[in-house]
Structure 1
Amino acid sequence: MTSEQASARPLDSRADIFSLGVILHELLSGRRPFRGSSQVETLHAIIHNQAPPLAGVSVWIQDILDKALAKDPKERYQHAADLALDLRRSLRVVPGATGVASVVAPARRRQWLWFGAAGIALVMVAAGWIGRAAWRPSENPLADARFSRFTDFEGSENDAAISRDGRFVVFRSDRDGSTDTWVSQVGSRNFVNLTKGTRSSVLVRNAGFAPDGSEVWLSAILGGDRMRLIPSMGGAPRPFLSEHAMEAAWSPDGSQVVFHPYDDGDPLFIADRDGSNSKQIFTLGPGEHNHFPVWSSDGQWIYFVSGQWDAREMDIWRIPTSGGTPERLTNHNSDVRYLAPLDSRTLLYVSPDQNGAGPWLWALDTERKVTRRISSGLEVYTSVDVSGDGRCLVVTVSNPTANLWSIPILDRPADEKDVKSVSLPSVRAYAPRYRGTSLFYLSSRGGGDGLWRYENGQATEIWRGADGALFEPPAVSFDGRRVAVILRKQGKRTLNLLSADGGDVRPLGTAIEVTSAASWSPDGNWIVAAGNDGKGPGLFKIPVDSGDPARLTSGAASNPLWAPDGSVIVYTGPVVSATGPLLMIRPDGTPLDAPGIRVRVNTEHYRFVPGRSELVYCQPYPRWPPRTFGYWT
């Protein structure tokens, strides 16, 4: 019995893949993967438990089992032929390999290694590469890749980088509880925790290697320590670059380094290799961002990601190393991350597609300005890096899940025992909104996220992600009868109104390009949203029935939230590094004294407490617990 059958969900041919996985597991281990002392316990195990890993089988076979037995059908093999192909490939594993699986690539091609992280483990990938003047857009520069697992940690790994000589990999992992920076020499199976709970994470690159691989740089942390260099296998860290410096990348000859501080506009600097003689080559205005700078292979350009980070509208640009006017290379308008030059004209990176699915692995021909998705299947890629000679890659691959939890508001900090999971029939659920007896949330059946409504034990998809992926939480009216969602059409994100059952869809305030989550007024007559009307960014009141939008503020803003009593609107101001100030205005735009609170970027981290003049907010760093503050008007 499959997990969807046990949950009384619809079945398709992918249920047979699950059954094949059960048979394969039993053939290899002599026991079934899901067991219980009663039928009820067995059903619970099928729905909720992961199949135990098998001792004495290769990592490649374990990966096949894990994929076949995935709870979510979209994460399984989509066809039995794909499973059979992987089984045949597993028979060609290099003899004598321990801990990792490696597949022999065609002998007529040079070999390079691709190291990666798979959600809970780093994966090593070997691939063949033919040196060529250019790759055609119809070709995949990684067509002959072969995969091997690099780690087998419990938990997650992400944000991986590889040394120029391909000998070392550094990554972030929660193996020891806190998320730390780890390093390992390839093939050694020896992993060193460099930070041991001393540094929280940043939302861009946390670490990378100096040119000779002997040291690892650790990014500066807003409100915490500055950038440091630490010996690659552990030791005493030393200061490097300016106090706020992030994301260091050295030139191909190692003579210069590019970086940006977490200051307004994320200015790009180039300095000598030791950090001296820094010179600014580019900056943006407040609330705009430059991330992931890297050098071109010939040392003539700096590639970087630039745009409105809080709206996840970023693209790849380049600028001469001497400075000047940047040139835009892509038009994703999405959450583009982790640039990695593969050769003189090929740049690898990760980004969602136009439907919101992914992120996937992409290649950019920097001369033709042509992009192509080069990953296949449903594996989500979260970072990529390339060695200096272009023969070694490290990627992080994830199979993310999301569940909803409830935390009571008490007169004391809530304990773990107070936190309860919200049982839903959806495998993945996030961005919840309660109104009346209904719970609205985002979920996906594969591809982009759609909107779901859960009521009386039934979950209904009221907006399909296939019709337009949702990137922001829904805005639900206080009476629960109407929902506003943000849809991207022809490259522009606008508000759209629909009924609580998914009908009567119509656009709202089409002159405003909306950049983040919106919020209803208590009387249901207005929706407040952050966006741009062509005259600059700000907050706008958009009438629900008729009339023109009214500007409330000017300047960078995101995620407005209207108080239940109608007296106050709070929102996030200009974002610097990964945080922005929590600001307050009256519904007519009159500013109020702000409480001096900073919140994390890219999502809502504050909600009003029903029936009280209080707001709950998440502090900007993981170790800081949620707090409340009162407001008065």
Structure 2
Amino acid sequence: MALDPGTRLGPFEVVSLLGVGGMGEVYRGRDTRLGREVALKILPVHLLAERERLVRFAQEARAASNLNHPNIVTIHEVGLANGTPFIAMELVEGRSLRSLMSDGPMALRRFLDLAAQLAEGVARAHEAGLVHRDLKPENVMVTRDGFVKILDFGLAKLAAAPGTNGLPTAGDPTLTAAGMVVGSPGYMSPEQASGRPLDARSDQFSLGLVYYEMLTGRRAFQRGTAVQTLSAIIQDEAEPLQLLAPRVPAPVRWIVERCLAKDPEERWAATKDLARDLRHLARNVEALSAAESTVSPVPLQATTQLAASAVTAATAAAPVVGPESARAAAPAVAAPEGPKGLLARAARVAATTLAALVVLAATGAGGFWLHGRLFPEAPRYRGSLVLGGSVQALAPCVSPDGSRVAYVSSGAGVAQVGVLDPASGDWTVLTRASDRGSVDRVDWSSDGSRLYFDRVTDVPRGIFSVPAIGGDERLLLEDAQGPESLPDGSLLVTRVEGGRSFRLHRFQPETNELKPVGPPLLAESHRLALRSFPDGREAVVFGRLAEPGSPPERRLLVVDLAGGGARPFTSLPVVPPFCPTPDGREVLAVLRQGDVSQVVAVSRDGASFRTLLSFTSQPWYLGAAPDGTVWVALRESPGELLRVPESGGPPERIASTAASLAMTPVELTDGRLVVPALASGRRLLLAAAREGALKPLVETREWASPPVTTVGEGKLAFLLGGRDAPPVLAVASASDGRILERLPLPGTSAPKALAASASGETVYLAESGSVWAMDLASRKARKLCAGDGVALSPPTGTLVVQRNERDGVRFFAVLPDGSSEREILFRSADKVAPTPVSGRAVGPDGRILVTLAPAETGYWTPGILDPATAEVKRVPLRYEGDVLAASWSAAGEVLAMGVGQKGELWRFQRAD
């Protein structure tokens, strides 16, 4: 019987009826304690007969809610009032996925955005050991802002009779038994339908069924009765997506087909991998849409004629890619063929390799899609994973004869030098020192007998060498990094000059002679990307000239190693990583097209280029072999907002984001935390409450990006724009997200750090080696001092300014007007990392949170600098990755951003 408005269920008051379902009624309610609106689900009274199961459900529901994931509905309370079991949960204003699907098959952009969010929410639950068991469109809500919310974790298990695994007990397609829904036959996995034990992969099958229906507008398995439907799920195959939705791109079809594999072993080992693949696709929906527009249906009878070529493509276990050419006109940039054109050709090729996709889906191989990272372009290159998993390989460098590949091994703490034999697959780690810093770059001697490498902690520690066959490493030159071997036996290295600029030097290992080469350079980073041409006459760097009046933007520059001059390399907007080819005729580099990164080969004169490969994530390193093989190091580093115990131990994970968006954690005055995110190719800012889900924070369709800082009471400042227009400093209301002000940035590039005065009248920016003060009332900015990071000290009202200098990181207490400063002296067993100090790094007691670079671990971690004692104490965390930009919360907790690390080394060989 429906409850009347005003009925009380403990502290909750019924407002109105929202709907009725098989598990009871749902009401709009109000929490009288907090004054917030909630949804009240009234459970069937017969559940009281199984109190133990009700308690277990309450525990599981709360466990799912405690994940605090933006795509899982928050459970506020599970209780019993007046003999009525109820759940009080987050009230979601929006439509159910079932309602959205009634409009017909979804557009690709809409599908990928919702599908990725669904998988991300389910993946987070799976990581916590929770299985939903009843995923279906009715259990998914979509808010007005487009956020997916998953409902009813644990309800299927609660409703099922003990030992039934949630199976039906009658032939009714609605699966009602004793007046309650105990499962949904159209969305069960084969193992669930046959009564076998379930794990997380059962939910993956259910997701596949939901995805299938979102794309086609019809259920994959729909028969006359529930029993017939379950039988079809166990025995039959769904009608091919290729026939029902021929315009769906092949990578999307492949994902759905893999979800629908009958054998759980053929699905994803972890749902987070499924979520990652969908998110990569969602970020490149425009490129996929271009492919979609050119695909024609392939008759099933045609697949038998193409079986031979399809199996060949499948057994290659990698996509095939190929070059395209274009001219870069000067002075205007000739736009290269973008991912739309590349994927259009890829789709035409994919239509002839349908059987290969089926083979790949059945075997679980990731060749065609490479776990969502690579788009095939044309049949010219064939790729294979060489090193990955627990063996993390970065910075590949091919030996002069092409027989071996040196790399940076970063899988276990301090990065070391490794060598790989591609022919046999054997690899070995040559260096072992754990107290000198991590290896950042490695290169071969011109005769291939030795390897040169650097070690870096907070600053470059020096250039070392080790025999290629193994032996003791030897220090050659201190305070330098980035060795490049030249034909005459000398090395090209980088050193930090006064004023925090970089300078190239030529170093002779035999005589220890060191000479500067070329002009001072600025990199706006702790390292300068550098590669030399094989003939030793020129080198390519990424940065900008340090001389006053030089162009402000960073770009690839060519440095004449004899004359010392520097010039722009090309008009194309290419970025690192880059490397010259062994014949010296081209430079491999990365050209970004939206969210797609293309590896291009640019002619040495910079006038023309060829597109070789396209990735949906940024390659970290490139290497080139004499036979045309391209080596690519891919690194996937998720970012996590963490709550860190000052005493150490494992941190609490609050929310996840892309590592490229890692930022200083910012706590709003009401206790919510700011979380950067990507959605539908757009950067945005979300707010996470301690007990609730993530919600949009800023009301804008423009890019909203870090850094972020609070400004006075109830406002925050951040960067607005940046993709299609120069960014500006925006000030918004923290309560409703309205943009209040837009102010031009004072410098030539985006700031790396923000802080604000206690009054909120001034915002401080650290940009390009300088700290600026911007008065919000006058909208004017002035340069205060040199600095790479800035924080406000609440006890004194002064600024704490960080400077990354040649000898390490230094801190200064600076008056707000910049008129006076004094150095904050400290002593530390660990080096301080050059990442900018956060705007809230200074606590009420004056202690400063800094980022340390322990030599023995290779991971950056928080430390606490006490100016009163000059001591720096490391926070002993247990976290596999870097923990950066720590800040204090109002409650005295430490907040930080964690960046996990996973590296893979891929080889792409010419297939022609």
The interval holding the TM-score normalised by the smaller chain is 0.7 to 0.9
Q: In the alignment, which residue of structure 1 is the partner of 2:40?
A: none
Aligned match of 1:608 in 837, 841, 845?
841
Q: In the alignment, which residue of structure 1 is the partner of 2:702?
A: 467
CA distance in 2, matches of 1:510, 1:382: 29
CA distance in 1, matches of 2:688, 2:717: 14
- Secondary structure of the 2:462 match is coil
CA drift at 1:236: 1.8
- Secondary structure of the 2:528 match is strand
Q: In the alignment, which residue of structure 2 is the partner of 1:114?
A: none
CA contact (8 A) 1:293 1:305 kept: yes
1:12-59 CA-partner distances (Å, limit 9, x unpaired): 43477999xx9xxxxxxx979xx9967899669999xxxxx9xxxxxx
1:306-347 CA-partner distances (Å, limit 9, x unpaired): 2399xx963211122213321123578997344334654431
CA distance in 1, matches of 2:812, 2:196: 53
CA drift at 1:544: 1.7
TM-score by length of structure 1 reads: 0.72
1:280-324 CA-partner distances (Å, limit 9, x unpaired): 212427887772332335543221122399xx9632111222133
- Secondary structure of the 2:279 match is helix
1:246-265 CA-partner distances (Å, limit 9, x unpaired): 222233x4554322234443
Gap change, CA 1:230 and 1:148, over 3 Å in 2 = same
Structure with higher helix content: 2
CA contact (8 A) 2:328 2:335 kept: no
CA distance in 2, matches of 1:486, 1:189: 47
Q: In the alignment, which residue of structure 2 is the partner of 1:379?
A: 617
CA distance in 2, matches of 1:44, 1:128: 34
CA distance in 1, matches of 2:751, 2:196: 49
CA contact (8 A) 1:448 1:468 kept: yes
Aligned match of 2:312 in 70, 92, 104?
92
Which amino acid is the alignment partner of residue 172 of structure 1?
V
Question: 2:736 matched to 1:499?
Answer: no
CA distance in 1, matches of 2:621, 2:518: 25
1:370-408 CA-partner distances (Å, limit 9, x unpaired): 678754351331111213x36122111234322222112
Which amino acid is the alignment partner of residue 457 of structure 1?
G
- Secondary structure of the 1:485 match is strand
CA distance in 2, matches of 1:132, 1:473: 37
Q: In the alignment, which residue of structure 2 is the partner of 1:112?
A: none
Gap change, CA 1:516 and 1:177, over 3 Å in 2 = closer
CA distance in 2, matches of 1:528, 1:139: 41
Which amino acid is the alignment partner of residue 74 of structure 1?
R
Aligned match of 2:565 in 321, 325, 343?
325
CA drift at 1:160: 2.2
How large is the RMSD of aligned CA atoms in angstroms? Answer: 5.0
Q: Which runs of 5 or more residues in structure 1 are unaligned?
A: 23-29, 48-52, 54-60, 106-126
Where do 1:522-601 residues align within 5 Å?
A: 522-531=758-767, 538-546=770-778, 548-553=780-785, 555=786, 557-565=787-795, 567-576=797-806, 580-589=809-818, 590-596=820-826, 599-601=832-834
1:457-483 CA-partner distances (Å, limit 9, x unpaired): 23233459973363x421222534333
CA contact (8 A) 2:191 2:198 kept: no
CA contact (8 A) 2:480 2:494 kept: yes
Where do 1:388-427 residues align within 5 Å?
A: 389=626, 391-409=628-646, 413-416=647-650, 419-423=651-655
- Secondary structure of the 2:544 match is strand
- Secondary structure of the 1:73 match is helix
Moved more, 519-528 or 205-214: 205-214
CA drift at 1:526: 0.8
Aligned match of 1:244 in 479, 482, 488?
479
Q: In the alignment, which residue of structure 2 is the partner of 1:226?
A: 462
CA distance in 1, matches of 2:597, 2:802: 26
Gap change, CA 1:327 and 1:604, over 3 Å in 2 = same
Which amino acid is the alignment partner of residue 301 of structure 1?
E
Gap change, CA 1:199 and 1:292, over 3 Å in 2 = farther
Where do 1:135-174 residues align within 5 Å?
A: 138=336, 144-154=380-390, 156-174=392-410
CA contact (8 A) 1:342 1:390 kept: no
1:90-130 CA-partner distances (Å, limit 9, x unpaired): 722597x8xxx467x7xxxxxxxxxxxxxxxxxxxxx7779
Which amino acid is the alignment partner of residue 614 of structure 1?
R
Which amino acid is the alignment partner of residue 587 of structure 1?
P
CA drift at 1:512: 4.0
CA distance in 2, matches of 1:68, 1:173: 23
CA distance in 1, matches of 2:840, 2:692: 25
1:255-276 CA-partner distances (Å, limit 9, x unpaired): 5432223444322123457565
Gap change, CA 1:41 and 1:524, over 3 Å in 2 = farther
- Secondary structure of the 1:249 match is strand
CA contact (8 A) 1:352 1:360 kept: yes
Where do 1:70-85 residues align within 5 Å?
A: 70-71=275-276, 73-76=278-281
CA contact (8 A) 2:761 2:777 kept: yes
CA drift at 1:169: 1.8
Gap change, CA 1:558 and 1:210, over 3 Å in 2 = same
CA drift at 1:149: 1.0
Gap change, CA 1:329 and 1:148, over 3 Å in 2 = same
Aligned match of 1:454 in 676, 685, 688?
688
Question: 2:505 matched to 1:266?
Answer: no
Percent of pairs identical after alignment? 14
Q: Which runs of 5 or more residues in structure 2 are unaligned?
A: 1-66, 74-95, 98-105, 124-189, 208-257, 259-265, 343-376, 547-551, 869-912
- Secondary structure of the 1:198 match is coil
Q: In the alignment, which residue of structure 1 is the partner of 2:430?
A: 194
TM-score by length of structure 2 reads: 0.52
Which amino acid is the alignment partner of residue 473 of structure 1?
P
Q: In the alignment, which residue of structure 1 is the partner of 2:903?
A: none
- Secondary structure of the 1:522 match is coil
**Alignment length, in residue pairs?**
563
Moved more, 179-188 or 454-463: 454-463
Moved more, 457-466 or 9-18: 9-18
